[in-house]
Chain A
Amino acid sequence: MSKPIEHDYIGLSEQQLPSMEKSSDKKDGLHLKDTELRLGLPGSESPEREDHDQNVLSLKSFVSGAKRGFSDALDGGGNWVFSGGSGGGTEGLFSPRRGGKNNGGKDLSGLDSGSVLKDGAAQKPSVVQEKKPQVAATSSHGNGNIAPASKALVVGWPPIRSFRKNTLAAHPPKNDDGDGNAEAKLGSGCLYVKVSMDGAPYLRKVDLKIYGSYKDLSSALEKMFSCFTIGQCGSHGVSSGDGLTESRLIDLLHGSEYVLTYEDKDGDWMLVGDVPWEMFTDSCKRLRIMKSTEAIGLVTRQCLLPNK
């Protein structure tokens, strides 16, 4: 079979392409080294790694091979994609106009080397929604250092639709052993409830199971809805860097403007915080961040209700 040379990729030199004619490779296991792609300057020592940790992609091998490469289709320079020279150049790759702030002399591979990804340190892993260090989330990328009891740590994994997850959660799997309910919580990996906020243009959904306390929940909600309270919805430019956003919402929530309420299993709206956390997560169907002025009636009613 022919080598997979496509004319619209920036060419890798021929000898570095996978030797697909070696059908023997496929027949007896995988001799990975024989078929391993090595991309480096001809004559340079590219790392011979069994663990595929890093394929150092030299800049030059990209630029030099570009015949009818993508770069040619653009402003003809071909320089905007990869500036010449190995090891980066003064002209940063991704910030052609901003001389000062770029990668400078940093190698391309700095982006996909271990420091960014493999050990997950600097990467932004798709962890628990609020990106809290509640759980050792990065370790979910490693092998086996995951919190023992439950694996609901990575958002959206395993890929099961909410509809199905919530159905399973509501009626946990039965078990063969006598104590059917003991294992019940394993089936309910998450519990999504809707959160609405008076005045916000759309709802959010939160997974109550990932929070351990009211405090965690409330700070997560603060973060989620902070952009709305400053009246910035619909526009960009929400900067949480200065801390103003968060503290203002905290003031708003803890102050007088908004209160957090929830609808319980019976359809009643209650103030959040009165019952033990577990009882709350069991009975909460949805949340609403309500304006204090509207909540007054709610508070009064609650005082008059017998203890639930």
Chain B
Amino acid sequence: MQKEMAYSFPDEVLKHVFSFIQSDKDRNAVSLVCKSWYEIERWCRRKVFIGNCYAVSPRMVIRRFPEVRSIELKGKPHFADFNLVPDGWGGYVLQWIAEMAGAYPWLGEIRLKRMVVTDESLELIAKSFKNFKVLVLFSCEGFSTDGLAAIAASCKNLRELDLRESEVDDLSGHWLAQFPETCTSLVSLNISCLGSDEVSFSALERLVDRCPNLRSLQLNRAVTLDKIANILRRAPQLVDFGTGNYAAELQPDVFSNLAGAFSSCKELKSLSGFWDVVPAYLPALYSICPRLTSLNLSYATIQSPDLIKLVSHCPRLQRLLVLDYVEDSGLEELASSCKDLQELRVFPSDPFGVEPNVSLTEQGLVAVSLGCPKLQSVLYFCRRMSNAALVTIAQNCPNLTRFRLCIIEPKTPDYLTLDPLDAGFGAIVEHCKDLRRLSLSGLLTDHVFEYIGTYGKKLEMLSVAFAGDSDLGLHHVLSGCESLRKLEIRDCPFGDKALLANAAKLETMRSLWMSSCAVSFGACKLLGQKMPKLNVEVIDETEPPDSRPESYPVDKLYIYKSVAGPRFDMPPFVWSMDEAVKILH
């Protein structure tokens, strides 16, 4: 009876139903129901997300999903952001583009994160995809403005060009002029990462002029304050705006022009940029502050009193990124003014100074936790912390989903009791039942990992540095955290035992990074040999790991599950432990 029902829906109906299912997880679940659903689903999947570009090969993706219109790829491990992954490690997108050029002529969207994108890749994109709409290069590198010129020139219906936090070889500002006069489709343009060199401003103005649907525009630092008004008047429909430089000599006419331009933007909800701020120009924003939901002042070197004034005008703020100039007093003001706050990130203004240069302590975060009940996501750099504060924060904000604390000096204990911060972080994982991402810092023993393993059942990503005493710590995490996908560890005394004992766990995760730990080369080889579904890669820039005894710890280790087998684009300082790859002995 049930069998008949399964076949009673024609494929078209199922296809139509599936088209409402957008999330990858759900799509994957759908494809597991039965063979015919697998077949139908794979033919109508339009969006593919690949969290690790080496987990699968382009060919495999193309074979399974022949009609993809949108792809998202991530390359380097997260610690590449902090220069822990040497240049040349990999993450090249060219091969993907080349294969997709042939297989997906209708590909419209490419989103890349931490990948190496060359001008050649960009030129290939420009040439190959006639309906290309969206290019997002998040934290990528390897390309220059020449490649961007190719995209601008060829992509007639480009909607989004977002280069956030990428490293671009800024050869010339004239690439912007390559957008043809017929291009009127831009919705989002983020060039904030471009260098301080000239951007062809007149080309930018003309582009903004002819794109009535432009909703999101992030300028780069080269654009001066006096030019902002011009842009805003051409695009009063903007929802999300990133200023360039926000500094100029205070001149009343410039000020009133700017204030007027901002007030004409009735939809503006999100602001960023603000390099080099002159505080006297901040009141120009006051007319839009009541509508602001997101404010990124993380490059703005303005002091607490000015920040307080600004923030007190923004009662609807949901997201605030700011430097530690905000100080505890500023955060207290935030806590009393911005009851809708969901995300707070506080960055250090002087991360390498020995003495604190600002009065920002754990008190600020405690104040926010008390005043902002909707707080979900925290990134906080500070110089001292206590277990008591962490417990308070945990109790105040049980809805936290992301908690990243960076106490600047490694292994800093509770400043009140000099205890490790195990209990504090333990409280976080215990109370915040939906915690998905956690970064630890301060003095921590194996106990914190015990708590994490016990309570962190929804934890998907964990970052650990200078923590733990023994393999037991790692073992707690690997054996207890059921939802763990990404684990990154540096400078911890974790060795072979926990890793080998939990080797099977690694197959359920996306990846594991361990650097400056105590995992021996022998253990790496063993893992590589015994776990064919894992790629085990050893990174060592000084000498080949097999030139030393097997018990010697490896410098860096990156393990990830893959159905594509070992990769072949490894540089000389990366060794695959796969048995199939011959290692010199």
Contacts and interface: CB of A to CB of B under 8 A. Distances in A.
A125 interface: yes
Contacts of B263: none
B93 interface: no
A195 to B, nearest CB: 9
Interface in B386-409: 406, 408-409
Interface stretch (B2-10, B16-24, B253-261, B492-500): B492-500
A77 to B, nearest CB: 12
B180 interface: no
B270 to A, nearest CB: 19
Given A9-B501, A70-B502, A187-B349, A126 B445 contact: no
B553 A124 contact: yes
Contacts of B303: 174, 176
Nearest to B505: A8
Nearest to B81: A161
B583 A160 contact: no
A308 interface: no
A111 B471 CA distance: 10
B530 A30 contact: no
A76 interface: no
Most A C-beta atoms less than 10 A away, residue of B83, B298, B426, B450 = B83
Contact of A125 (B88, B447, B497, B516): B516
Nearest to A200: B88
B227 to A, nearest CB: 19
Interface residues of B, number: 96
Contacts of B575: 236
A81 B479 contact: no
Contact of B352 (A125, A186, A203): A186
A189 interface: yes
B551 interface: yes
B445 A117 contact: no
A252 B5 CA distance: 76
Given A171-B276, A235-B572, A236-B544, A30 B423 contact: yes
A205 B501 contact: no
B81 A9 contact: no
B15 interface: no
Interface residues of A, number: 100
A168 B349 contact: yes
Nearest to A165: B351
A236 B583 contact: yes
- Name the residue in A159, A187, A204 with the highest tally of chain B Cβ atoms < 10 Å from its Cβ: A159
Contacts of B419: 29-30
Q: List the 10 shortest-distance A-B pairs measured between CB atoms, nearest first.
A: A94-B522, A189-B352, A156-B82, A202-B88, A126-B516, A52-B469, A186-B353, A55-B470, A117-B493, A6-B479
11 contacts: A30-B419, A32-B445, A74-B530, A112-B495, A151-B408, A156-B82, A158-B351, A174-B303, A187-B352, A187-B353, A205-B83
Given A102-B551, A124-B516, A183-B357, 17 more contacts: A8-B479, A52-B446, A70-B502, A70-B503, A73-B504, A81-B500, A81-B526, A94-B551, A123-B516, A123-B553, A141-B491, A156-B79, A159-B82, A164-B347, A207-B83, A233-B572, A234-B572
